[in-house]
Structure formats: structure tokens, C-alpha cells
């Protein structure tokens, strides 16, 4: 039985001491194991608006070849997993997934990019191969209730590549592939966001320039490419898009090659309102004092269902978040004192997720000792001025990794799943913040 324990910032420092009796925090449920998930890949928590939810993960083996399994989420918890039909070579750890009215998958497949659409967790996937014949791709996906899904990918081609977009609206099949960027160049990162009006915002690093471009759902056309900032290498990039075209693009500027860097990381973002364009120059949110490489997923941006913007990132001494109001980005808030290290690249920011009721949550991986980590979650209630104290969703365990989170559209319950090496996947739930 996991006894309640709420981790405030002060209590978190105590939790970093190895304690074998540490338990998960109230109001979190006792973590449960996902049946049949031993020796599998990282999880993907996927909730659809009307067809329920599931946890997807790869079974034992390497990619391609490892089966894609899904455990449906019911009132009694995760069910026994079954092979997800139509997804023979999907990668649940490194490819892009998103869920709204439909579920979208975007991932490399051989020398092309596979786009997959499933109406719900119990449905069979329909897939197509997109893009030119290349040596791989960077991928991103997004989904919005009452609108559709969108996937973006940047290809690796001789002499550089391009950024491409695939949109899927309502119950329709995915659209034709559209080229978003206009110059062949080295694309270091790509991100995509969509809103309920069918607008899509794609952003990328074009060999040292962060660029963004709108697809306007009402007029069915692209806007101009916008230059948002010069960088050495924005290898981590995120975008968010509100229903009235308010938007945020956030990135970390640091060139990393084979796990090494000679550059101090800097964190940047720029936002626009419904009526005014991106505020330039972009705002620097943090500057690392040394060449430490940020851990976890590094940076993510989102808008709540009520239109509040959020940026979360792995800072030098803490996982941090800032709220966005129009074009103004607020002061950072430290969510948990998690400092990245060269030996523990998995620790730091996990996910930033939002609910249909205006709430949000940030998942994090915090170190406990040389081998044990713990999954923490910082909740943001609808209308709250700041995130609440970090909560422990798991007890400490060896090398916990790959957290994935999502809110149930019907109940607004938050589910977080994570990978436990040699043991499988565990998950826990809590009521909406």
C-alpha cells in the first residue's frame, strides 16, 4: 500500500536521500503494473474524446520487429495487452504520437515516413508512407478535439532536407503531403501544433534560423515563413497554438554532438496574441552558466482549454515553468529542484499535458540516488496563479524513465505511465487538479 506523502520543495530535498520505504504521494493512486509489459519500450498514454484511452508500448525485441501492444484503460485499470492491428513497426519510445478525436502516429519507416491514423484505442490502424526516399526524419505530431490531427517531419537528404506537413480533419483520411519550408538545408528540429479551427503552426530550425509558418484552416492556405531568431543549434523546439491563433514557439539553443558540447545552453521563447504577431526579439528565459546538457525532453509548450499559455523546461537547477498571457511571458517558477548531470540524461522534464477543463500538469524524473529515480508531477488547477507543489506519482525505483501522461476527456482524471527496466510499465492516476 502506498501511503500519502505530498512533496513540497523542502520535502523533495529529503526525498533525494535513498529511502527504501518511500511511497507515492496522495492524491495519487497506488501505482499498478501494466500486464505483459516486461522488457518493452516506453509507454504512450493516449486518450480520445469519445472512444476511451489506452497505454501503447512495444513488446520485447528491437525496432523494427518488436510488436506494438496496447492495454485499454478501464474502470478496473489497465487490461491485458493485445497486439495493435495495423501497427507492425511503430516505435513507442522515439516516434511521435498524439490523440484527440483520432490517434496519430508519425515515425520513420525504412527510408520514408509512416503516417498512421486510428479512430480509437480499439481500432485498427490505417497507414501510408509519405515524403521522399531519405535516410531518416525528425518527426512531430499533434491532435485537437473537434478538429483533427497533424504530423510534421523534416527529412535527411543529400545537401539538406525540407519540412513537410500532413493534416487530418474530422473523420477524413490524411491530406496530401505539403512542403512547409522553402529552402533545402539542414533541419535540426521540427515541431507542430493545431487548434480547433484547423489552423496549424509548424516550426523548425533551418540551419541556425528558427522559422515558423501558419496553415490557415479557414482559407486553406499557408501564410508567410517567419524568422523568429538566430541560433547556433535549436536541437529542442516546441510550439503551442490557441483557438484564436495565439501561439508560442520555445527552444533551447545548444549544439550537441555525440553527447558533447562546448556551448552553454540558453532557453528562449516568443509568443503572439490573437491580433498581434510574435514579439521579437525572442525572450531569453534562462542561461546556463556552464556547458551542462539539459536532460529529459528539455522543453515543451502548450495552451490550456481556457487559453492560458505554458512553457516548461529543464533548467540548470530545477525543472521550471512560465505562464504566458498574450505576448507576455511571465517569470519562471521552479517546479522541483532537479539539476541535469552528464551521467543521468533521462532526468528532468517529462511531459506537459492539459485537460479539457482548463487544468495542466508537468511530469518530471527526479534523481534519488545513483541508481534510483522518482516520477514527480506538478499540477496546475484551472485559474490558479501558479503550479502547485510537486507530487510523487511513484515510489523511488531503479532507472525509472519515459513518463507519458494524459487527461481522460470524460472524467478529467490524470494518468501517468512510466517504464521500469526489467519489470515493465507502471501507471498511477489522480483526480483533476
Average pLDDT across each block of 10 residues of the chain; the chain has 433 residues. List them in order.
29 30 70 86 95 94 85 92 94 96 94 95 97 87 96 86 96 95 94 97 97 97 98 97 97 92 97 97 98 96 97 98 98 96 82 97 94 94 97 94 96 96 91 94
d(CA 18, CA 20): 7
296, β-bridge pairs: 349
Task: Give 292's contacts (C-beta < 8 A, 6+ positions apart).
Answer: 265, 316, 339, 340, 341, 342
d(CA 206, CA 193): 18
All structural domains of the chain with their residue ranges: 41-339
Instruction: Give the closest residue to 350 by CA, choosing from 290, 299, 414.
Output: 299
Maximum CA extent, the chain: 59
Question: Is 402:42 a contact under the CB 8 Å cutoff?
Answer: yes
Structure confidence by residue, pLDDT tens digits, 27-75: 999 999 998 888 678 999 999 999 999 999 998 887 777 899 999 999 8
At 196 the three-state DSSP class reads: coil
Q: Say how many Å lie between the first and final Cα of the chain, rounded.
A: 23
Structure confidence by residue, pLDDT tens digits, 191-212: 999 999 999 999 999 999 999 9
d(CA 102, CA 120): 6
pLDDT at 24: 62
pTM of the model: 0.92
Superfamily name and number for 41-339: Integrin alpha, N-terminal (2.130.10.130)
Structure confidence by residue, pLDDT tens digits, 129-176: 999 887 779 999 999 999 999 999 999 877 789 999 999 999 999 999
| Positive or negative: CA dihedral 282, 334, 415, 60 | positive
Amino acid at each position: 500500500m502506498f501511503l500519502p506523502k505530498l512533496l513540497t520543495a523542502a520535502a523533495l530535498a529529503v526525498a533525494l536521500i535513498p529511502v527504501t520505504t518511500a511511497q507515492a504521494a496522495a492524491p495519487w493512486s497506488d501505482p499498478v503494473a501494466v500486464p505483459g509489459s516486461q522488457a518493452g519500450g516506453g509507454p504512450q498514454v493516449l486518450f480520445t474524446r469519445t472512444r476511451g484511452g489506452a497505454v501503447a508500448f512495444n513488446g520485447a525485441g528491437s525496432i523494427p520487429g518488436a510488436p506494438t501492444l496496447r492495454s485499454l484503460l478501464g474502470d478496473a485499470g489497465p487490461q491485458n495487452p493485445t497486439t495493435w492491428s495495423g501497427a507492425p513497426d511503430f516505435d513507442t519510445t522515439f516516434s511521435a504520437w498524439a490523440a484527440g478525436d483520432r490517434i496519430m502516429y508519425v515515425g520513420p519507416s525504412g527510408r520514408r515516413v509512416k503516417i498512421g491514423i486510428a479512430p480509437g484505442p480499439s481500432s485498427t490502424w490505417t497507414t501510408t508512407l509519405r515524403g521522399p526516399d531519405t535516410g531518416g526524419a525528425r518527426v512531430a505530431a499533434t491532435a485537437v478535439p473537434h478538429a483533427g490531427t497533424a504530423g510534421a517531419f523534416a527529412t535527411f537528404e543529400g545537401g539538406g532536407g525540407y519540412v513537410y506537413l500532413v493534416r487530418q480533419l474530422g473523420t477524413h483520411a490524411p491530406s496530401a503531403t505539403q512542403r512547409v519550408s522553402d529552402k533545402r538545408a539542414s533541419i535540426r528540429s521540427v515541431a507542430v501544433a493545431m487548434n480547433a479551427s484547423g489552423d496549424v503552426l509548424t516550426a523548425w530550425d533551418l540551419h541556425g534560423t528558427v522559422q515558423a509558418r501558419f496553415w490557415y484552416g479557414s482559407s486553406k492556405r499557408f501564410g508567410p515563413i517567419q524568422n523568429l531568431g538566430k541560433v547556433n543549434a535549436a536541437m529542442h523546439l516546441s510550439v503551442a497554438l490557441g483557438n484564436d491563433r495565439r501561439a508560442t514557439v520555445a527552444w533551447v539553443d545548444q549544439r550537441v554532438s555525440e553527447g558533447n558540447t562546448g556551448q552553454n545552453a540558453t532557453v528562449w521563447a516568443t509568443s503572439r496574441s490573437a491580433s498581434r504577431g510574435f514579439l521579437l526579439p525572442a525572450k531569453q528565459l534562462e542561461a546556463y552558466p556552464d556547458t551542462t546538457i539539459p536532460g529529459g525532453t528539455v522543453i515543451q509548450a502548450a495552451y490550456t482549454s481556457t487559453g492560458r499559455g505554458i512553457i516548461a523546461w529543464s533548467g540548470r537547477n530545477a525543472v521550471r515553468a512560465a505562464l504566458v498571457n498574450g505576448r507576455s511571458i511571465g517569470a519562471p517558477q521552479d517546479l522541483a529542484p532537479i539539476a541535469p548531470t552528464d551521467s543521468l540524461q533521462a532526468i528532468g522534464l517529462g511531459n506537459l499535458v492539459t485537460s479539457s477543463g482548463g487544468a495542466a500538469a508537468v511530469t518530471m524524473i527526479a534523481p534519488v540516488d545513483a541508481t534510483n529515480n522518482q516520477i514527480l508531477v506538478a499540477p496546475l488547477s484551472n485559474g490558479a496563479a501558479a503550479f502547485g507543489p510537486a507530487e510523487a506519482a511513484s515510489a523511488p525505483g531503479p532507472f525509472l524513465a519515459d513518463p507519458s501522461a494524459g487527461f481522460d476527456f470524460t472524467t478529467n482524471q490524470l494518468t501517468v505511465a512510466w517504464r521500469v527496466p526489467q519489470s515493465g510499465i507502471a501507471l498511477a492516476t489522480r483526480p483533476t487538479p
